[in-house]
A and B are shown apart, each in its own frame.
Chain A
Protein backbone atom coordinates (compact mmCIF):
# COMPACT_ATOMS: atom_id res chain seq x y z
CA UNK A 1 0.00 0.00 0.00
CA UNK A 2 3.01 2.27 0.56
CA UNK A 3 6.11 2.01 -1.59
CA UNK A 4 9.35 3.88 -1.00
CA UNK A 5 11.56 3.92 -4.09
CA UNK A 6 15.17 5.06 -3.73
CA UNK A 7 14.07 7.64 -1.20
CA UNK A 8 16.54 10.36 -0.20
CA UNK A 9 16.41 13.29 2.19
CA UNK A 10 19.51 15.42 2.04
CA UNK A 11 20.66 18.42 4.08
CA UNK A 12 23.71 20.69 3.78
CA UNK A 13 26.64 19.47 5.87
CA UNK A 14 26.86 21.23 9.20
CA UNK A 15 30.66 21.56 9.03
CA UNK A 16 30.43 24.40 6.49
CA UNK A 17 32.31 22.41 3.86
CA UNK A 18 29.54 23.00 1.32
CA UNK A 19 28.94 19.27 1.08
CA UNK A 20 25.69 17.44 1.76
CA UNK A 21 24.59 14.68 4.10
CA UNK A 22 21.94 12.04 3.41
CA UNK A 23 19.66 11.77 6.44
CA UNK A 24 17.62 9.20 4.50
CA UNK A 25 19.98 7.37 2.22
CA UNK A 26 18.25 5.63 -0.66
CA UNK A 27 15.54 3.61 1.10
CA UNK A 28 13.60 1.01 -0.89
CA UNK A 29 10.75 -0.58 1.02
CA UNK A 30 7.14 -1.68 0.59
CA UNK A 31 4.65 -1.53 3.47
CA UNK A 32 1.84 -4.07 3.07
CA UNK A 33 -1.80 -3.31 3.66
CA UNK A 34 -3.16 -3.91 7.21
CA UNK A 35 0.12 -4.67 8.96
CA UNK A 36 1.64 -3.28 12.14
CA UNK A 37 5.15 -1.91 11.55
CA UNK A 38 7.51 -0.62 14.23
CA UNK A 39 10.48 1.43 13.12
CA UNK A 40 13.35 1.51 15.58
CA UNK A 41 17.03 2.37 15.55
CA UNK A 42 19.62 4.52 17.31
CA UNK A 43 19.01 8.21 18.06
CA UNK A 44 19.63 10.31 14.97
CA UNK A 45 19.37 7.34 12.60
CA UNK A 46 16.55 8.94 10.54
CA UNK A 47 13.38 7.30 11.97
CA UNK A 48 11.38 10.49 12.49
CA UNK A 49 12.74 12.00 9.27
CA UNK A 50 11.42 9.00 7.33
CA UNK A 51 8.01 9.27 9.01
CA UNK A 52 7.89 12.99 8.16
CA UNK A 53 8.83 12.29 4.52
CA UNK A 54 5.83 9.96 4.24
CA UNK A 55 3.47 12.62 5.67
CA UNK A 56 5.00 15.38 3.52
CA UNK A 57 6.30 17.39 6.47
CA UNK A 58 9.81 17.02 5.08
CA UNK A 59 10.22 17.43 1.30
CA UNK A 60 11.60 14.48 -0.64
CA UNK A 61 15.09 15.21 -2.05
CA UNK A 62 15.14 12.20 -4.39
CA UNK A 63 13.12 9.07 -5.17
CA UNK A 64 9.38 8.45 -4.96
CA UNK A 65 6.65 7.60 -2.48
CA UNK A 66 3.70 5.64 -3.91
CA UNK A 67 0.52 5.38 -1.84
CA UNK A 68 -1.93 2.79 -3.18
CA UNK A 69 -0.24 3.09 -6.55
CA UNK A 70 -0.38 6.92 -6.71
CA UNK A 71 2.83 8.95 -6.62
CA UNK A 72 2.39 11.29 -3.65
CA UNK A 73 6.00 12.57 -3.50
CA UNK A 74 5.01 16.10 -4.56
CA UNK A 75 1.70 16.31 -2.67
CA UNK A 76 1.23 18.73 0.25
CA UNK A 77 0.55 17.61 3.83
CA UNK A 78 -3.12 18.54 3.32
CA UNK A 79 -3.42 16.44 0.15
CA UNK A 80 -1.75 13.45 1.81
CA UNK A 81 -4.12 13.79 4.75
CA UNK A 82 -7.07 13.81 2.34
CA UNK A 83 -5.62 10.74 0.60
CA UNK A 84 -5.87 8.87 3.94
CA UNK A 85 -2.58 9.32 5.82
CA UNK A 86 -2.60 10.56 9.41
CA UNK A 87 0.32 11.51 11.63
CA UNK A 88 0.71 11.61 15.37
CA UNK A 89 3.49 13.97 16.48
CA UNK A 90 6.09 13.14 19.11
CA UNK A 91 5.83 16.69 20.50
CA UNK A 92 2.22 17.68 19.76
CA UNK A 93 1.44 21.33 19.04
CA UNK A 94 -0.29 23.34 21.75
CA UNK A 95 -2.86 25.99 20.88
CA UNK A 96 -4.36 28.86 22.85
CA UNK A 97 -8.13 28.91 22.40
CA UNK A 98 -8.50 25.61 20.51
CA UNK A 99 -10.16 22.75 22.36
CA UNK A 100 -9.97 18.99 21.96
CA UNK A 101 -13.51 19.20 20.52
CA UNK A 102 -12.29 21.68 17.87
CA UNK A 103 -9.45 19.35 16.82
CA UNK A 104 -11.79 16.36 16.62
CA UNK A 105 -14.20 18.40 14.51
CA UNK A 106 -11.39 19.38 12.13
CA UNK A 107 -10.18 15.76 11.95
CA UNK A 108 -13.61 14.24 11.33
CA UNK A 109 -15.92 17.00 10.10
CA UNK A 110 -18.36 15.77 12.78
CA UNK A 111 -20.11 18.33 14.98
CA UNK A 112 -22.75 16.06 16.51
CA UNK A 113 -22.11 15.69 20.25
CA UNK A 114 -23.25 12.07 20.38
CA UNK A 115 -20.91 11.04 17.58
CA UNK A 116 -17.98 12.87 19.18
CA UNK A 117 -18.68 10.99 22.41
CA UNK A 118 -18.63 7.73 20.46
CA UNK A 119 -15.14 8.64 19.26
CA UNK A 120 -14.04 9.35 22.85
CA UNK A 121 -15.30 5.90 23.82
CA UNK A 122 -13.47 4.36 20.90
CA UNK A 123 -10.12 5.91 21.86
CA UNK A 124 -10.63 5.16 25.54
CA UNK A 125 -10.87 8.73 26.84
CA UNK A 126 -13.44 8.79 29.60
CA UNK A 127 -14.20 12.10 31.20
CA UNK A 128 -16.50 14.18 29.04
CA UNK A 129 -14.97 17.31 30.51
CA UNK A 130 -11.92 16.47 28.39
CA UNK A 131 -13.80 17.44 25.23
CA UNK A 132 -13.83 21.15 26.05
CA UNK A 133 -10.32 21.33 27.44
CA UNK A 134 -8.09 23.75 25.62
CA UNK A 135 -5.15 22.03 23.97
CA UNK A 136 -2.73 24.52 25.53
CA UNK A 137 0.27 24.57 27.82
CA UNK A 138 -1.81 23.60 30.85
CA UNK A 139 -2.25 19.99 29.66
CA UNK A 140 0.16 17.42 31.04
CA UNK A 141 2.48 15.55 28.67
CA UNK A 142 0.32 12.44 28.98
CA UNK A 143 -2.96 14.27 28.35
CA UNK A 144 -1.74 15.95 25.18
CA UNK A 145 -0.39 12.65 23.83
CA UNK A 146 -3.79 11.02 24.36
CA UNK A 147 -5.42 13.88 22.47
CA UNK A 148 -2.85 13.52 19.69
CA UNK A 149 -3.55 9.81 19.40
CA UNK A 150 -7.31 10.40 19.45
CA UNK A 151 -7.25 12.96 16.62
CA UNK A 152 -5.16 10.56 14.52
CA UNK A 153 -7.52 7.63 15.08
CA UNK A 154 -10.65 9.78 14.66
CA UNK A 155 -9.55 10.76 11.16
CA UNK A 156 -10.09 7.09 10.12
CA UNK A 157 -6.88 6.95 8.11
CA UNK A 158 -5.86 4.14 5.78
CA UNK A 159 -2.29 4.65 7.01
CA UNK A 160 -1.58 5.90 10.55
CA UNK A 161 1.92 7.01 11.54
CA UNK A 162 2.74 7.41 15.25
CA UNK A 163 6.05 9.04 16.18
CA UNK A 164 7.08 7.86 19.65
CA UNK A 165 3.50 7.67 20.97
CA UNK A 166 4.70 6.58 24.41
CA UNK A 167 6.70 9.76 25.15
CA UNK A 168 5.24 11.32 28.30
CA UNK A 169 2.81 8.43 28.82
CA UNK A 170 2.97 6.54 32.12
CA UNK A 171 4.04 2.90 32.06
CA UNK A 172 0.51 1.68 32.88
CA UNK A 173 -1.00 3.39 29.84
CA UNK A 174 1.36 1.92 27.23
CA UNK A 175 -0.24 -1.55 27.26
CA UNK A 176 -3.76 -0.22 26.61
CA UNK A 177 -2.32 2.11 23.95
CA UNK A 178 -0.78 -0.83 22.07
CA UNK A 179 -4.09 -2.71 22.34
CA UNK A 180 -5.96 0.32 20.99
CA UNK A 181 -3.73 0.60 17.91
CA UNK A 182 -4.02 -3.17 17.32
CA UNK A 183 -7.81 -2.96 17.66
CA UNK A 184 -7.98 -0.10 15.12
CA UNK A 185 -5.89 -2.18 12.75
CA UNK A 186 -8.10 -5.26 13.21
CA UNK A 187 -11.44 -3.43 12.96
CA UNK A 188 -10.66 -0.73 10.42
CA UNK A 189 -7.77 -2.32 8.57
CA UNK A 190 -5.53 0.67 9.41
CA UNK A 191 -1.99 0.07 8.24
CA UNK A 192 0.06 1.23 11.21
CA UNK A 193 3.62 2.54 11.44
CA UNK A 194 4.97 3.27 14.92
CA UNK A 195 8.35 4.86 15.55
CA UNK A 196 9.41 3.58 18.95
CA UNK A 197 12.06 1.94 21.11
CA UNK A 198 9.45 0.63 23.49
CA UNK A 199 9.37 -3.09 24.19
CA UNK A 200 5.56 -3.15 24.23
CA UNK A 201 5.34 -1.78 20.68
CA UNK A 202 8.22 -3.92 19.38
CA UNK A 203 6.49 -7.04 20.72
CA UNK A 204 3.23 -6.04 19.04
CA UNK A 205 4.82 -5.51 15.62
CA UNK A 206 4.15 -7.74 12.61
CA UNK A 207 7.35 -6.33 11.16
CA UNK A 208 10.24 -4.64 12.98
CA UNK A 209 12.27 -2.25 10.82
CA UNK A 210 15.67 -1.14 12.03
CA UNK A 211 17.10 2.06 10.57
CA UNK A 212 20.73 3.01 10.96
CA UNK A 213 22.45 5.96 9.29
CA UNK A 214 19.46 6.58 7.04
CA UNK A 215 19.25 3.02 5.69
CA UNK A 216 17.00 0.10 6.51
CA UNK A 217 19.40 -2.46 7.93
CA UNK A 218 16.79 -5.02 8.98
CA UNK A 219 13.16 -5.89 8.53
CA UNK A 220 11.44 -8.93 9.94
CA UNK A 221 10.51 -10.47 13.28
CA UNK A 222 11.54 -9.05 16.65
CA UNK A 223 13.40 -12.25 17.43
CA UNK A 224 15.56 -11.86 14.36
CA UNK A 225 16.14 -8.19 15.21
CA UNK A 226 17.51 -8.84 18.69
CA UNK A 227 21.18 -9.45 17.89
CA UNK A 228 21.29 -6.32 15.74
CA UNK A 229 19.48 -4.20 18.35
CA UNK A 230 22.12 -5.30 20.86
CA UNK A 231 24.95 -4.45 18.49
CA UNK A 232 23.54 -1.06 17.61
CA UNK A 233 23.26 -0.11 21.28
CA UNK A 234 19.90 1.45 20.50
CA UNK A 235 19.65 2.09 24.21
CA UNK A 236 20.65 5.51 25.48
CA UNK A 237 20.40 4.31 29.08
CA UNK A 238 22.90 1.47 28.69
CA UNK A 239 25.27 3.06 31.16
CA UNK A 240 22.70 3.12 33.93
CA UNK A 241 21.83 -0.59 33.61
CA UNK A 242 25.45 -1.43 32.80
CA UNK A 243 24.38 -3.41 29.76
CA UNK A 244 22.56 -6.04 31.83
CA UNK A 245 20.94 -8.38 29.30
CA UNK A 246 18.07 -9.12 31.66
CA UNK A 247 17.22 -5.49 32.44
CA UNK A 248 13.83 -6.22 30.89
CA UNK A 249 13.96 -3.72 28.11
CA UNK A 250 14.99 -3.77 24.50
CA UNK A 251 16.32 -0.27 24.43
Chain B
Protein backbone atom coordinates (compact mmCIF):
# COMPACT_ATOMS: atom_id res chain seq x y z
CA UNK B 1 0.00 0.00 0.00
CA UNK B 2 2.89 2.37 0.78
CA UNK B 3 5.61 2.84 -1.83
CA UNK B 4 9.18 3.98 -1.15
CA UNK B 5 8.40 7.69 -1.66
CA UNK B 6 5.35 7.44 0.62
CA UNK B 7 7.44 5.79 3.30
CA UNK B 8 10.16 8.44 3.10
CA UNK B 9 7.61 11.25 3.33
CA UNK B 10 5.78 9.63 6.24
CA UNK B 11 9.02 9.11 8.09
CA UNK B 12 9.98 12.77 7.69
CA UNK B 13 6.67 14.43 8.53
CA UNK B 14 5.20 11.99 11.04
CA UNK B 15 8.20 9.91 12.16
CA UNK B 16 6.32 6.84 11.02
CA UNK B 17 8.23 3.83 9.72
CA UNK B 18 5.10 1.72 9.31
CA UNK B 19 1.39 2.19 9.90
CA UNK B 20 1.04 3.57 13.43
CA UNK B 21 -0.56 1.88 16.39
CA UNK B 22 -3.74 3.54 17.62
CA UNK B 23 -5.92 5.88 15.60
CA UNK B 24 -4.74 7.21 12.26
CA UNK B 25 -5.93 8.67 9.00
CA UNK B 26 -3.55 8.81 6.07
CA UNK B 27 -4.46 10.87 3.05
CA UNK B 28 -2.58 10.48 -0.22
CA UNK B 29 -3.13 12.68 -3.28
CA UNK B 30 -6.47 13.92 -1.97
CA UNK B 31 -7.86 10.44 -1.21
CA UNK B 32 -8.09 8.27 1.86
CA UNK B 33 -5.24 5.78 1.97
CA UNK B 34 -5.91 4.24 5.35
CA UNK B 35 -7.87 4.83 8.53
CA UNK B 36 -8.03 3.21 11.92
CA UNK B 37 -10.13 4.23 14.89
CA UNK B 38 -9.82 3.25 18.55
CA UNK B 39 -12.27 2.82 21.42
CA UNK B 40 -11.79 6.44 22.49
CA UNK B 41 -10.91 8.12 19.23
CA UNK B 42 -13.29 8.22 16.31
CA UNK B 43 -12.43 9.49 12.84
CA UNK B 44 -15.07 10.07 10.19
CA UNK B 45 -15.34 11.93 6.93
CA UNK B 46 -17.30 15.19 7.29
CA UNK B 47 -20.66 15.72 5.58
CA UNK B 48 -19.22 17.90 2.85
CA UNK B 49 -16.56 15.25 2.23
CA UNK B 50 -13.91 17.96 2.47
CA UNK B 51 -12.03 16.45 5.38
CA UNK B 52 -12.32 14.50 8.59
CA UNK B 53 -13.77 14.95 12.05
CA UNK B 54 -11.66 13.52 14.85
CA UNK B 55 -13.53 13.07 18.11
CA UNK B 56 -11.71 12.29 21.32
CA UNK B 57 -13.95 10.97 24.11
CA UNK B 58 -13.95 12.91 27.40
CA UNK B 59 -11.42 11.54 29.88
CA UNK B 60 -9.27 9.74 27.27
CA UNK B 61 -5.68 9.48 28.57
CA UNK B 62 -2.33 9.10 26.82
CA UNK B 63 -3.59 8.31 23.35
CA UNK B 64 -2.39 9.60 20.03
CA UNK B 65 -3.76 10.22 16.55
CA UNK B 66 -1.67 10.40 13.39
CA UNK B 67 -3.17 12.23 10.42
CA UNK B 68 -0.42 12.71 7.83
CA UNK B 69 -1.03 13.87 4.27
CA UNK B 70 1.26 12.93 1.42
CA UNK B 71 1.27 14.29 -2.09
CA UNK B 72 3.09 13.05 -5.15
CA UNK B 73 0.60 13.76 -7.95
CA UNK B 74 1.66 16.42 -10.44
CA UNK B 75 -0.66 19.42 -10.70
CA UNK B 76 -2.70 18.62 -7.59
CA UNK B 77 -3.66 21.30 -5.05
CA UNK B 78 -5.32 19.42 -2.22
CA UNK B 79 -7.51 21.34 0.24
CA UNK B 80 -8.69 19.61 3.38
CA UNK B 81 -10.80 20.83 6.30
CA UNK B 82 -10.35 18.83 9.46
CA UNK B 83 -12.02 19.29 12.83
CA UNK B 84 -10.79 18.00 16.16
CA UNK B 85 -13.22 17.81 19.03
CA UNK B 86 -11.40 17.00 22.23
CA UNK B 87 -13.63 16.00 25.14
CA UNK B 88 -13.34 17.41 28.66
CA UNK B 89 -10.37 16.15 30.70
CA UNK B 90 -8.92 14.21 27.75
CA UNK B 91 -5.15 14.09 27.17
CA UNK B 92 -4.10 13.43 23.60
CA UNK B 93 -1.25 13.90 21.14
CA UNK B 94 -2.13 14.68 17.53
CA UNK B 95 0.58 14.28 14.92
CA UNK B 96 -0.19 15.94 11.60
CA UNK B 97 2.10 16.80 8.76
CA UNK B 98 2.30 17.13 5.05
CA UNK B 99 4.96 15.79 2.79
CA UNK B 100 5.10 16.73 -0.87
CA UNK B 101 7.18 14.84 -3.39
CA UNK B 102 7.42 16.74 -6.62
CA UNK B 103 8.71 14.78 -9.58
CA UNK B 104 7.61 17.01 -12.47
CA UNK B 105 7.46 20.65 -13.62
CA UNK B 106 3.79 20.76 -12.50
CA UNK B 107 3.01 22.53 -9.22
CA UNK B 108 1.77 20.66 -6.17
CA UNK B 109 0.22 22.02 -3.02
CA UNK B 110 -1.79 21.39 0.08
CA UNK B 111 -3.90 23.56 2.33
CA UNK B 112 -4.78 21.93 5.64
CA UNK B 113 -7.39 23.85 7.57
CA UNK B 114 -7.50 22.51 11.10
CA UNK B 115 -9.96 23.57 13.77
CA UNK B 116 -9.54 22.46 17.36
CA UNK B 117 -12.23 22.60 20.02
CA UNK B 118 -10.50 21.69 23.24
CA UNK B 119 -12.87 20.81 26.12
CA UNK B 120 -12.63 21.84 29.76
CA UNK B 121 -9.32 20.90 31.43
CA UNK B 122 -8.35 18.85 28.37
CA UNK B 123 -4.72 18.76 27.24
CA UNK B 124 -3.69 18.49 23.63
CA UNK B 125 -0.25 18.33 22.10
CA UNK B 126 -0.29 19.04 18.38
CA UNK B 127 2.78 18.36 16.27
CA UNK B 128 2.76 19.45 12.64
CA UNK B 129 5.64 19.10 10.20
CA UNK B 130 5.76 20.33 6.64
CA UNK B 131 8.30 19.22 4.13
CA UNK B 132 8.77 18.97 0.38
CA UNK B 133 11.27 17.04 -1.70
CA UNK B 134 11.76 15.66 -5.17
CA UNK B 135 13.76 16.36 -8.30
CA UNK B 136 10.84 18.08 -10.10
CA UNK B 137 10.83 21.83 -10.74
CA UNK B 138 7.11 22.31 -9.98
CA UNK B 139 6.26 24.86 -7.34
CA UNK B 140 5.45 23.35 -3.93
CA UNK B 141 2.96 25.25 -1.83
CA UNK B 142 1.74 24.59 1.70
CA UNK B 143 -0.84 26.84 3.29
CA UNK B 144 -1.84 25.53 6.70
CA UNK B 145 -4.47 27.20 8.86
CA UNK B 146 -4.87 26.30 12.51
CA UNK B 147 -7.77 27.60 14.59
CA UNK B 148 -7.89 26.76 18.27
CA UNK B 149 -10.67 27.30 20.78
CA UNK B 150 -9.72 26.53 24.36
CA UNK B 151 -12.45 25.99 26.97
CA UNK B 152 -11.94 26.73 30.67
CA UNK B 153 -8.70 25.25 32.03
CA UNK B 154 -7.75 23.69 28.67
CA UNK B 155 -4.12 23.38 27.70
CA UNK B 156 -2.74 23.24 24.15
CA UNK B 157 0.86 22.90 23.09
CA UNK B 158 1.49 23.27 19.37
CA UNK B 159 4.72 22.59 17.54
CA UNK B 160 4.56 23.79 13.98
CA UNK B 161 7.57 23.09 11.81
CA UNK B 162 8.37 23.65 8.16
CA UNK B 163 11.61 21.84 7.62
CA UNK B 164 12.49 22.64 4.03
CA UNK B 165 11.78 22.36 0.35
CA UNK B 166 8.54 24.39 0.39
CA UNK B 167 8.55 27.20 -2.21
CA UNK B 168 5.68 29.18 -0.87
CA UNK B 169 3.75 29.12 2.36
CA UNK B 170 1.15 31.27 4.01
CA UNK B 171 0.56 30.03 7.53
CA UNK B 172 -2.35 31.22 9.63
CA UNK B 173 -2.69 30.46 13.33
CA UNK B 174 -5.64 31.76 15.31
CA UNK B 175 -6.63 31.04 18.88
CA UNK B 176 -9.30 32.11 21.35
CA UNK B 177 -8.55 31.29 24.97
CA UNK B 178 -11.16 30.69 27.67
CA UNK B 179 -10.73 31.29 31.43
CA UNK B 180 -7.59 29.77 32.97
CA UNK B 181 -6.51 28.14 29.70
CA UNK B 182 -2.96 27.92 28.40
CA UNK B 183 -1.60 28.01 24.84
CA UNK B 184 2.02 27.42 23.88
CA UNK B 185 2.91 27.74 20.20
CA UNK B 186 6.39 27.10 18.83
CA UNK B 187 6.79 27.71 15.12
CA UNK B 188 10.01 26.89 13.29
CA UNK B 189 10.46 27.76 9.66
CA UNK B 190 13.49 27.23 7.46
CA UNK B 191 13.52 28.73 3.98
CA UNK B 192 16.18 28.61 1.27
CA UNK B 193 16.71 29.66 -2.35
CA UNK B 194 13.87 31.86 -3.61
CA UNK B 195 11.31 30.50 -1.11
CA UNK B 196 8.88 32.71 0.78
CA UNK B 197 7.01 32.13 4.02
CA UNK B 198 4.41 34.33 5.68
CA UNK B 199 3.12 33.47 9.14
CA UNK B 200 0.13 35.35 10.54
CA UNK B 201 -0.81 34.70 14.15
CA UNK B 202 -3.69 36.09 16.16
CA UNK B 203 -4.21 35.05 19.76
CA UNK B 204 -7.22 36.37 21.66
CA UNK B 205 -6.93 36.12 25.44
CA UNK B 206 -10.62 36.21 26.24
CA UNK B 207 -10.96 34.46 29.60
CA UNK B 208 -9.69 35.63 32.98
CA UNK B 209 -6.37 34.03 33.91
CA UNK B 210 -5.65 32.81 30.36
CA UNK B 211 -2.02 32.58 29.30
CA UNK B 212 -0.30 32.37 25.92
CA UNK B 213 3.31 32.10 24.80
CA UNK B 214 4.16 32.31 21.10
CA UNK B 215 7.70 31.41 20.10
CA UNK B 216 8.87 31.82 16.52
CA UNK B 217 12.26 30.71 15.18
CA UNK B 218 13.05 31.56 11.57
CA UNK B 219 16.09 30.85 9.44
CA UNK B 220 16.42 32.42 6.00
CA UNK B 221 19.07 30.94 3.70
CA UNK B 222 19.80 31.88 0.07
CA UNK B 223 17.55 34.71 -1.17
CA UNK B 224 14.55 33.49 0.81
CA UNK B 225 12.14 35.78 2.59
CA UNK B 226 9.98 35.39 5.69
CA UNK B 227 7.36 37.67 7.16
CA UNK B 228 6.03 37.12 10.65
CA UNK B 229 2.98 38.81 12.14
CA UNK B 230 1.84 38.06 15.67
CA UNK B 231 -0.91 39.81 17.56
CA UNK B 232 -1.95 39.11 21.12
CA UNK B 233 -5.30 40.67 21.90
CA UNK B 234 -5.88 40.72 25.66
CA UNK B 235 -9.50 41.16 26.66
CA UNK B 236 -9.24 40.13 30.30
CA UNK B 237 -6.82 39.74 33.18
CA UNK B 238 -4.27 37.51 31.45
CA UNK B 239 -0.63 36.97 30.49
CA UNK B 240 0.80 36.91 26.98
CA UNK B 241 4.30 36.75 25.55
CA UNK B 242 5.70 36.74 22.01
CA UNK B 243 9.30 35.73 21.36
CA UNK B 244 10.44 35.89 17.74
CA UNK B 245 14.00 35.33 16.61
CA UNK B 246 15.18 35.28 13.04
CA UNK B 247 18.61 34.26 11.79
CA UNK B 248 19.65 35.64 8.42
CA UNK B 249 22.10 33.63 6.35
CA UNK B 250 23.36 34.50 2.86
CA UNK B 251 20.99 37.14 1.40
CA UNK B 252 17.81 36.19 3.24
CA UNK B 253 15.39 38.87 4.39
CA UNK B 254 12.91 39.08 7.22
CA UNK B 255 10.13 41.27 8.52
CA UNK B 256 8.86 40.69 12.03
CA UNK B 257 5.84 42.48 13.47
CA UNK B 258 4.85 41.52 16.99
CA UNK B 259 1.84 43.44 18.20
CA UNK B 260 0.30 43.63 21.66
CA UNK B 261 -3.18 44.91 22.42
CA UNK B 262 -4.24 45.35 26.04
CA UNK B 263 -7.99 45.82 26.31
CA UNK B 264 -8.04 45.22 30.05
CA UNK B 265 -6.13 47.01 32.85
CA UNK B 266 -4.83 43.73 34.31
CA UNK B 267 -3.42 42.37 31.07
CA UNK B 268 0.31 41.64 31.18
CA UNK B 269 1.84 41.49 27.72
CA UNK B 270 5.48 41.32 26.67
CA UNK B 271 7.43 40.63 23.52
CA UNK B 272 11.02 40.22 22.43
CA UNK B 273 12.17 40.14 18.85
CA UNK B 274 15.54 39.84 17.19
CA UNK B 275 16.74 39.61 13.60
CA UNK B 276 20.37 39.17 12.60
CA UNK B 277 23.19 36.96 11.50
CA UNK B 278 24.57 34.23 13.74
CA UNK B 279 26.40 35.96 16.58
CA UNK B 280 30.17 35.92 16.21
CA UNK B 281 30.76 34.92 19.82
CA UNK B 282 28.68 31.77 19.27
CA UNK B 283 30.75 30.78 16.22
CA UNK B 284 34.03 31.53 17.99
CA UNK B 285 33.02 29.47 21.01
CA UNK B 286 32.12 26.39 18.97
CA UNK B 287 35.29 26.72 16.85
CA UNK B 288 37.32 26.93 20.05
CA UNK B 289 35.80 23.55 20.93
CA UNK B 290 37.10 22.10 17.66
CA UNK B 291 34.30 22.61 15.12
CA UNK B 292 35.07 24.15 11.74
CA UNK B 293 33.24 27.34 10.74
CA UNK B 294 30.67 25.39 8.67
CA UNK B 295 30.15 22.78 11.39
CA UNK B 296 29.63 25.56 13.93
CA UNK B 297 27.01 27.26 11.70
CA UNK B 298 25.16 23.95 11.26
CA UNK B 299 25.24 23.17 14.96
CA UNK B 300 23.84 26.59 15.88
CA UNK B 301 21.03 26.39 13.29
CA UNK B 302 20.23 22.80 14.29
CA UNK B 303 19.86 23.86 17.94
CA UNK B 304 17.89 26.99 17.05
CA UNK B 305 15.34 24.96 15.04
CA UNK B 306 15.33 21.94 17.37
Which residues on A are within 8 Å of B, measured CB to CB?
55, 57, 76-78, 81-82, 86-87, 89, 91-98, 102-103, 106-107, 151, 155
Bound: A102/B279 CA distance, A: 18
Bound: A102/B302 CA distance, A: 11
Query: Which segment, of B76-84, B97-105, B194-202, B290-298, faces chain A?
Result: B290-298
Contacts of B245 in A (CB 8 A): 96
* Known pairs A98-B299, A98-B303, A102-B303; A93 contacts B285 (CB<8 A): yes
Bound: A96/B287 CA distance, A: 17
B274 to chain A, nearest CB (A): 10
Q: List 17 A-B contacts (CB under 8 A).
A: A57-B284, A76-B287, A78-B287, A78-B290, A78-B292, A81-B287, A82-B290, A86-B288, A89-B285, A92-B281, A93-B285, A95-B303, A96-B303, A97-B303, A97-B305, A98-B299, A107-B289
Bound: A103/B296 CA distance, A: 11
Contacts of A87 in B (CB 8 A): 288
Chain B CB count within 10 A is highest, among A81, A92, A151, for A81
Which residues on B are within 8 Å of A, measured CB to CB?
217, 245, 279, 281-282, 284-293, 299-300, 302-306
Bound: A91/B280 CA distance, A: 12
Are the C-beta atoms of A106 and B303 separated by less than 8 Å?
no
Are the C-beta atoms of B290 and A93 separated by less than 8 Å?
no
Query: Which chain A residue has the least Cβ–Cβ distance from B288?
Result: A87
Are the C-beta atoms of B284 and A93 separated by less than 8 Å?
yes
A103 to chain B, nearest CB (A): 7
10 smallest CB-CB distances across A and B, nearest first, come from A97-B303, A98-B303, A93-B281, A77-B287, A93-B285, A81-B290, A93-B282, A107-B289, A97-B306, A87-B288
B297 to chain A, nearest CB (A): 12
Contacts of B293 in A (CB 8 A): 78
* Known pairs A89-B281, A93-B281; A107 contacts B303 (CB<8 A): no
Are the C-beta atoms of A78 and B291 separated by less than 8 Å?
yes
* Known pairs A77-B284, A91-B281, A106-B286; A96 contacts B291 (CB<8 A): no
Query: Which chain B residue has the least Cβ–Cβ distance from A87?
Result: B288
Contacting A95 at CB < 8 Å: which of B282, B287, B288? B282
Contacts of A102 in B (CB 8 A): 299, 303
Contacts of A97 in B (CB 8 A): 217, 302-306
Bound: A106/B289 CA distance, A: 7
Query: Which chain B residue has the least Cβ–Cβ distance from A97?
Result: B303
Query: Which chain A residue has the least Cβ–Cβ distance from B304?
Result: A97
Are the C-beta atoms of A103 and B289 separated by less than 8 Å?
yes
Contacts of B286 in A (CB 8 A): 106
Are the C-beta atoms of B288 and A55 separated by less than 8 Å?
yes
* Known pairs A57-B284, A89-B281; A98 contacts B289 (CB<8 A): no
Contacts of B299 in A (CB 8 A): 98, 102, 106
A242 to chain B, nearest CB (A): 37
Contacting A98 at CB < 8 Å: which of B281, B288, B300? B300
* Known pairs A96-B217, A97-B304; A151 contacts B284 (CB<8 A): no
Bound: A94/B300 CA distance, A: 11
Query: Which chain B residue has the least Cβ–Cβ distance from A154?
Result: B289
Given A81-B289, A81-B290, A95-B304: 12 more A-B contacts, CB < 8 Å: A55-B288, A77-B284, A78-B292, A89-B281, A91-B281, A92-B281, A93-B279, A95-B303, A97-B305, A97-B306, A102-B299, A106-B299
Bound: A89/B279 CA distance, A: 15
Bound: A10/B201 CA distance, A: 51
Bound: A55/B292 CA distance, A: 14
Contacts of A103 in B (CB 8 A): 289
B217 to chain A, nearest CB (A): 7
Chain A CB count within 10 A is highest, among B245, B282, B285, B302, for B285
Query: Which chain B residue has the least Cβ–Cβ distance from A109?
Result: B290
Query: Which chain A residue has the least Cβ–Cβ distance from B281?
Result: A93
A14 to chain B, nearest CB (A): 21
Contacts of A57 in B (CB 8 A): 284, 288
Contacts of B281 in A (CB 8 A): 89, 91-93
A147 to chain B, nearest CB (A): 11
Bound: A235/B284 CA distance, A: 30
Are the C-beta atoms of A155 and B290 separated by less than 8 Å?
yes
Bound: A87/B284 CA distance, A: 10
Bound: A13/B75 CA distance, A: 63
Query: Which chain B residue has the least Cβ–Cβ distance from A57?
Result: B284
